[in-house]
Amino acid sequence: MIRQLATAALCVASALIPLEAVAQPSFAPSGWDAALKLPEAVDRNPDPTIVEVDLVAREAEIEVAGKTVKAYTYNGTLPGPLIRAKVGNRLIVHFTNDLPEPTTIHWHGLRVPIEMDGVPGISQPEMQRGDTFTYDFILRDASLYWYHPHVMSAAQVGYGLTGPLLVEDPADGVGVTDQLTLVLSDIGFDSKGVLEPWDSGGPAGMVFGREGAYVLANGRTLPTLKARAGAPQRWRIVNTAKSRFFLLDLDGQPFHQIGGDGGLYERPVTSEVLLVTPGERFDVIIAPTGKPGTTMPLRALLYNRGYGSIQYRGVEEVLSIEFSKEPALKVPPAPTLARAITPPPREGATPVDMILTLPPAGADGNSEFHINGVPYWKAKPFLAKLGETQVWNIVNDSTFDHPFHLHGYFFMEVDEKGEPLRPMRWKDTVNVPLKQSVRVIVTFDERPGTWMIHCHILDHAEGGLMGVVQVGDKAAEHTHPKPPGPPMKHR
Ligand code: C2O
Ligand code: CU
């Protein structure tokens, strides 16, 4: 359905703004993005409609900030290779686990069949070392997505196991030629390059959500991007950190948001800063400007996501933009794209309350996050009939933000009356700020199965803030995912 809407939207877009459909020339200096180049997965299928790649999860030595770090990787790189495809393509991934512990791959944000969702105990068995699995599905919606494990995910994502997946729509009408996929993350290691243990900081580390001290842009610390001042660039941004939020700032210059998790927005919206919480994606057009020959940082400003996130901390520089000597171009006006989006029908939608809490720590000093009074290992599934539309009232009664993620479906944010927030946009991860609530509407229109919901601060997820929605009547074999299990040591 969304694919049809996207097609309809294209007609609208080209009818309204024929100029946008014409690709602009490149304005970027040669080698402008060399320091941010992502490794790309090799498509070994000659059929232009099939992208067929190999991924191996394995430990590998990578360079970070001048140190050699033995990280968890896909194909030996951090982040894992960029998988590129066009909307409507079939993606086949031959995956091998060569890690010293079990893993799986979850395809974050994609409308995949349940068997391809990568959740152990629900959609596939855990893969032991040496196991292989073939993921095979159609890429139905254009956007930037990402892939990551769903076993010990706080540990494994923190150790480096993530990668981007870009599904392009060549006819999206955006027309900006200079494009960058920007994977934001962080990693922690000691002076010898040994990764910070997954359980560092104990229960307090879980409650805060562990952040690595090194901020990474496409796996590098503070890389330089070259640009011609005033020239437009299209950035597709994903935050793959397990806990860190990125409140991006380009010296107050505008971010024209044209899309997000589920593709283009109904219409663009302009903001001075851009908050990217774990799991979220944004599609933005920027035209950074400054004096030719100077540099300007992309910063991550302080953002209060709970106690400890702004105390004794500073602004981070994420990357540096180096303006070429060519004269600055006149900054282009805000883009005027349009996409026709039909919101889910709210008449008769079932209201569902989800209350997120952090009760006081137990006598043993351990803490748990709860949804509706229970951690995931005690939770019953939420239920939805096939075809049912639900309005979720997600109330955050805890003192930390929670980027809340649903597998397998896009939802839309709505107000207290159930009216879609404008511009309408499809999302799969939405931040629920501390002591606030967010409402979303979602239709479980197809693909019965057991689909996860969880906080994308992965320490919170494993600390209890997870659950499942059972869509359709077929009882799931297991009603909740495998608990994290006994502590596992890295190496
Ligand atoms: Cu990125 Cu369970 O998800
Ligand atoms: Cu959380």
pLDDT tens digit sequence for 392-446:
999 999 999 999 999 999 999 999 999 999 999 999 999 999 999 999 999 999 9
**Quick check: CB of 148 below 6 Å from ligand 1?**
yes
**Given the CA of residue 146, which atom of ligand 1 is nearest to it?**
1
**Given the CA of residue 119, which atom of ligand 1 is nearest to it?**
2
Vertex 455: Cα angle to 360 and 397 (nearest 5):
40
> What does residue 61 show for φ and ψ, rounded to 5 degrees?
-90, 125
- Between CA 491 and CA 484 the distance in angstroms is 17
| Residue 3: pLDDT band with limits 50, 70, 90 | very low
**Quick check: CB of 454 below 6 Å from ligand 1?**
yes
> What does residue 458 show for φ and ψ, rounded to 5 degrees?
-70, -25
Domain with CATH 2.60.40.420 in the chain: 2-168, 179-335, 340-471
pLDDT exceeds 50 at position 17 = no
Residues, Cβ < 5 Å to ion ligand 2: 402, 455, 457, 460
Average pLDDT over residues 360-369: 93
| Residue 19: pLDDT band with limits 50, 70, 90 | very low
The contacts of residue 216 (CB under 8 Å, 6+ apart) are 64, 78, 183, 184, 185, 186, 187
Among all bound ligands, the one having the nearest atom to the CA of 429 is: 1
pLDDT in the model for residue 474: 63
- Between CA 457 and CA 463 the distance in angstroms is 10
The rounded Å distance from CA 460 to ligand 2 centre is: 5
| Residue 6: pLDDT band with limits 50, 70, 90 | very low
* DSSP H or E segment with residue 8: helix 2-16
pLDDT exceeds 50 at position 12 = no
pLDDT exceeds 50 at position 256 = yes
- What amino acid is encoded at 469 in this protein? V
Q: Which of 403, 221, 189, 458 is nearest to 320 (CA)?
A: 221
**Given the CA of residue 148, which atom of ligand 1 is nearest to it?**
1
The rounded Å distance from CA 461 to ligand 2 centre is: 7
pLDDT exceeds 70 at position 247 = yes
The rounded radius of gyration (Å) of the Cα atoms in the chain is 22
**Given the CA of residue 407, which atom of ligand 1 is nearest to it?**
2
Determine the straight-line distance between the first and last CA of the chain, rounded to whole angstroms: 46
For the chain, give the number of residues: 491
340-471: what CATH class?
mainly beta
**Quick check: CB of 106 below 6 Å from ligand 1?**
yes
Pairing of strands 350-357, 389-396: parallel
**Given the CA of residue 150, which atom of ligand 1 is nearest to it?**
2
Residue 157 three-state SS = helix
The rounded Å distance from CA 356 to ligand 2 centre is: 9
Among all bound ligands, the one having the nearest atom to the CA of 408 is: 1
Residue nearest to atom 1 of ligand 1 (CA): 108
Kindly report, residue by residue over 189-239, the tens digit of the pLDDT.
999 999 999 999 999 999 999 999 999 999 999 999 999 999 999 999 999
**Quick check: CB of 279 below 6 Å from ligand 1?**
yes
The rounded Å distance from CA 284 to ligand 1 centre is: 23
Lowest mean pLDDT among 255-269, 306-320, 361-375, 466-480: 466-480
Average pLDDT over residues 358-366: 93
| Residue 13: pLDDT band with limits 50, 70, 90 | very low
E strand intervals along 205-294: 214-217, 224-227, 233-239, 246-249, 255-260, 263-271, 273-276, 281-286
Among all bound ligands, the one having the nearest atom to the CA of 356 is: 2
Contact 466, 452 (CB under 8 A): yes
The rounded Å distance from CA 2 to ligand 1 centre is: 21
| Residue 489: pLDDT band with limits 50, 70, 90 | very low
Q: Which of 408, 473, 429 is nearest to 119 (CA)?
A: 408
The rounded Å distance from CA 433 to ligand 2 centre is: 10
- Between CA 184 and CA 222 the distance in angstroms is 11
- What amino acid is encoded at 92 in this protein? I
pTM beyond cutoff 0.85: yes
The answer regarding whether domain 179-335 maps to CATH 3.90.45.10 reads no
CA-to-CA dists, residue 306 to 208, 310, 377, 396, angstroms: 7, 8, 25, 12
Residue nearest to atom 3 of ligand 1 (CA): 108
Q: Which of 132, 37, 35, 22 is nearest to 84 (CA)?
A: 37
Among all bound ligands, the one having the nearest atom to the CA of 455 is: 2
**Given the CA of residue 109, which atom of ligand 1 is nearest to it?**
1
| Residue 23: pLDDT band with limits 50, 70, 90 | confident
> What does residue 203 show for φ and ψ, rounded to 5 degrees?
-60, -35
Q: Which of 160, 245, 240 is nearest to 195 (CA)?
A: 160
The contacts of residue 183 (CB under 8 Å, 6+ apart) are 38, 79, 146, 162, 164, 216, 217, 218, 219, 238, 240
**Given the CA of residue 452, which atom of ligand 1 is nearest to it?**
2
CA-to-CA dists, residue 433 to 332, 351, 429, 482, angstroms: 33, 21, 13, 28
Q: Which of 14, 348, 329, 62 is nearest to 172 (CA)?
A: 14
The rounded Å distance from CA 331 to ligand 2 centre is: 38
The rounded Å distance from CA 287 to ligand 2 centre is: 33
Average pLDDT over residues 18-46: 88
pLDDT in the model for residue 21: 54
pLDDT exceeds 50 at position 447 = yes
The rounded Å distance from CA 10 to ligand 1 centre is: 29
The rounded Å distance from CA 203 to ligand 1 centre is: 22
Domain 2-168, second-level architecture: Sandwich (2.60)
pLDDT exceeds 50 at position 124 = yes
Among all bound ligands, the one having the nearest atom to the CA of 148 is: 1
Vertex 198: Cα angle to 183 and 248 (nearest 5):
30
